[in-house]
Amino acid sequence: MVHFKTLIITSCTGEKKFKPENQLLQADFQACDNLSIKEKQLEEYMVTAGDMYTGMQHLRLMEGVKILRDKYGSDVVDVNIVSAGYGLISENRRIAPYEVTFNTMSPKEIVAWSKTLRIKESLSTAIKGYDLILFLLGDKYLRALELPVLTSGDQRLIFFASGTSRKLIPNEPNYFIYEVGQKDAKSFSYGLVALKGYLFKLLAQDLVLNGTGLISQIKDSPDMLSSILDKYRKVPLEQESLFAIEEIAKGVATEKKILPKEKVPTSYVSDAPRAKNYGISMRYFIPEWDDRVDPTYNFIKDESTEGRNPYLHDVYSHEIFDTPNYDGVLISKVKIEESNIKKARVQAVGVHDFIRYPNSKPIMGDCGAFGYITDEEPPYTTEEILDYYEDLGFTQGVSIDHLIVGDFAKDPVERKRRYDITRRNAADFIQKWQTGNFSFEPVGVAQGWDPQSYLESVGELIDMGYKFIALGGVARTPTKQILEILNKVVPIIPDYLQFHLFGVARLDAIPTFRKLGVTSFDSASHLRRAWLGSGSNYFAMDGKTYAAIRIPPVDGHGVRVKKMIEAGIGTKEEFKVLEVNALAALRGFDRGNVTLDDALEAVLTYDEKIGEGREKHADYYRRVLEDQPWKKCDCKICREIGIEVIIFRGNNRNRRRGFHNTYVFYNQFKKIF
């Protein structure tokens, strides 16, 4: 039984399960007697509100709700819906199809109709007894609530809302805004209309992995939502973008903590047996996560190329450098399916042409098990996946697996069930591959929860006939534990076996990984470090790392500055002067026209105004300006854009810095062998 009570308030959607010609209209709700008559006429179409709405936000939300209820029971969360016909109703209320929406009403009409439906009074009653209330509403439906409502002192109200909704949400201590806008739709690579529901589903997945105690932590510290959800972003934001109203007023910022690099235990390096497949060369694959940049971006004006289509005109790292800084690419099915535009284009041209990657280079495909980790079963069939790999032109195709991590690995029954699902799918996959006419190479996935279970999984895959095996579920596993698994498995590895590590790229451990039979691995960690954390965003060939210098934009997607202005900390004109001065000082320093101290002072003055950590950044920024690592780098990006690569500011700088980091990592990796 879950004692902590959570309520979700969401909106009705225009898309409904039924749309008969005689559906209810606004006039029917105004005449109560007529409403009951009409509902009887529509009896065959009446279902619960939870089942009636079929809009994408509602569907994603309810998927998240189901994830939580399947794990923690039906009372873990309740859902109420703001209906423009019925008012505020429970998901269990039976309703008839109707055609009424607040989205077509003026502000005055919304308030008038909301009063008729008694939505504010219903909300005050509905939230009683709940500790945490989450609101997933657009502007028009928020207006219908006529906030504020009477709350108890210890309740927390969190609003997933756009920036324009701020004026509708009280600036009170127990109200918190998690801003969701167009920039986030791009960052999460998900449609804006359904984004709030999708974010709740992601949150539900984290709650399943980390326990319901996380819900009460969110209530007490709602700014945690940023760190929980940011890891699912595909595109970097300019700055941390989600702050409590009271924190913005104080100018408090949060920084991501980067853990120190883990060292490989020396005993494993010296004592590791050499695998029979040691003679196979080692390869590095990079995951494809829409990591592209505008090739003709104007850094001085901060303008993208006019009329560009990101899918057609933006370029990948391998299109910038003379040769790719990786030996292959990994593309997950769940990543392709997150965007209908992307999915259609990949289906039309195939994976090699979609990312414009040489046909001579391998592209491995997998299902993206983390995307369905909380599902009872993987959402794909073997036949479907075999045809998918073949039709899209993958070089290698991975069998359908189910992750055994977190709480799933702790439950003996559940971990064995997922192990068996992965094993059965692998057996079915290679049997059908052997009898079919497929041109890609089959890859079997080994899943486990300790060295012995991984040993058994790898052994079974070898017996099935796989010549290429991938070790799954170890991306977040400490190096020491990965080495324990590999030491257990190495005695049974045959000389012909290709052996892949999913999501692991640890330079210090690579020689030992190879000695223990690993022949390939994938990771985007060096790329993503370009915009994650504050102290190690730029990698140098000599092993040093440097902070990128944050100069958030005032115009366009300047989320942080916009929040400061809204909080009354400064005017747009004041921020603009500081921004221009900081950029000019850095560029002048790069040309030798501005001293280091003057450049640093211009940057830190802007830092101080936007509430950044001036003292901490002063040391970081002085070090990078003293060393000027971009001038010592021979990579194409550093040569072409100079100091712009070290400026933390938008996708076209941040991702180019990530491309540079990948170049450094790949060259360091190649020097090992």
Which has the closest alpha carbon to 325: 148, 523, 513, 551? Answer: 523
Does the predicted model carry a pTM greater than 0.75?
Answer: no
3-state secondary structure 285-350: EEECCCCCECCCCECCCCECCCCCCHHHHCECHHHHCCCCCCCEEEEEHHHHCCCHHHHHHHHHHC
pLDDT of residue 190: 80
The CA distance from 560 to 83, in Å, is: 34
The CA distance from 211 to 217, in Å, is: 11
Tell me the per-residue pLDDT of 198-256, one tens digit each, with 9 for 90 and over: 999 999 988 888 777 788 889 888 888 988 898 888 766 543 332 222 332 333 333 33
pLDDT of residue 669: 94
- Answer whether 186's CB lies under 8 Å from 160's CB: no
Helix axes 451-464, 479-489, angle to 10 degrees: 50
Tokens (6 digits) for 340 = 């209908």
Please count the other Cβ atoms lying within 10 Å of the Cβ belonging to residue 571: 10
pLDDT of residue 268: 47
Who's near 11: CB < 8 A, 6+ residues apart? 57, 81, 82, 136, 137, 138, 141
pLDDT of residue 340: 86
Element (H, E) at 283: strand 283-287
Characterize 407-421 residue by residue with b for buried, 16 or more Cβ atoms within 10 angstroms of its Cβ, and e for exposed.
ebbeeeeebebbbeb
pLDDT of residue 172: 85
Which has the closest alpha carbon to 385: 440, 311, 328, 340? Answer: 440
Cβ burial, residue 311 (10 Å; 0-12/13-18/19+): middle
- Answer whether 236's CB lies under 8 Å from 531's CB: yes
Tell me the per-residue pLDDT of 402-450, one tens digit each, with 9 for 90 and over: 999 888 898 999 999 999 999 999 999 999 999 999 999 999 999 999 9
Who's near 528: CB < 8 A, 6+ residues apart? 658
Which has the closest alpha carbon to 582: 616, 610, 562? Answer: 610
Beta bridge partners of 98: 24
Tokens (6 digits) for 671 = 């020097």
Counting runs of H as helices and runs of E as strands, what totals does the chain give?
32, 20
Contacts 24+ apart (CB under 8 A), 566-573: 566/166, 566/248, 567/245, 567/248, 567/249, 568/249, 569/248, 569/249, 569/251, 569/609, 569/611, 570/609
Tell me the per-residue pLDDT of 148-163, one tens digit each, with 9 for 90 and over: 998 887 899 999 998 8
The CA distance from 401 to 536, in Å, is: 34
pLDDT of residue 495: 95
Which has the closest alpha carbon to 439: 398, 366, 389, 365? Answer: 389
The CA distance from 378 to 398, in Å, is: 13
Who's near 16: CB < 8 A, 6+ residues apart? 52, 53, 54, 97
Which has the closest alpha carbon to 428: 392, 458, 391, 384? Answer: 384
Beta bridge partners of 158: 134, 176
pLDDT of residue 239: 36
pLDDT of residue 247: 31
Active site residues: 366, 522
Tokens (6 digits) for 197 = 């529901």
Average pLDDT across each block of 10 residues of the chain; the chain has 673 residues. List them in order: 78 90 89 84 94 92 93 92 96 95 90 95 94 94 93 89 88 89 82 88 88 82 87 62 30 35 49 85 94 94 89 93 96 88 92 94 94 88 96 97 90 94 97 95 97 97 97 90 95 96 91 95 92 86 93 80 79 92 96 95 89 74 96 95 94 95 95 83
- φ, ψ for residue 71 (rounded to 5)? -85, -45
pLDDT of residue 533: 75
Residue 532 gets which letter from DSSP? S
The CA distance from 513 to 508, in Å, is: 10
Kindly list the distances between the CA atom of residue 588 and the CA atoms of 220, 362, 583, 595, in Å, as whole numbers in the listed order: 46, 44, 8, 8
Which has the closest alpha carbon to 603: 591, 588, 593, 592? Answer: 588
pLDDT of residue 21: 84
Which has the closest alpha carbon to 470: 495, 441, 498, 434? Answer: 498
Please count the other Cβ atoms lying within 10 Å of the Cβ belonging to residue 452: 11
Asked, as a colleague might, if the bond just before 107 is cis with ω within 30 of 0, I would say: no
The CA distance from 584 to 594, in Å, is: 9
The CA distance from 182 to 191, in Å, is: 9
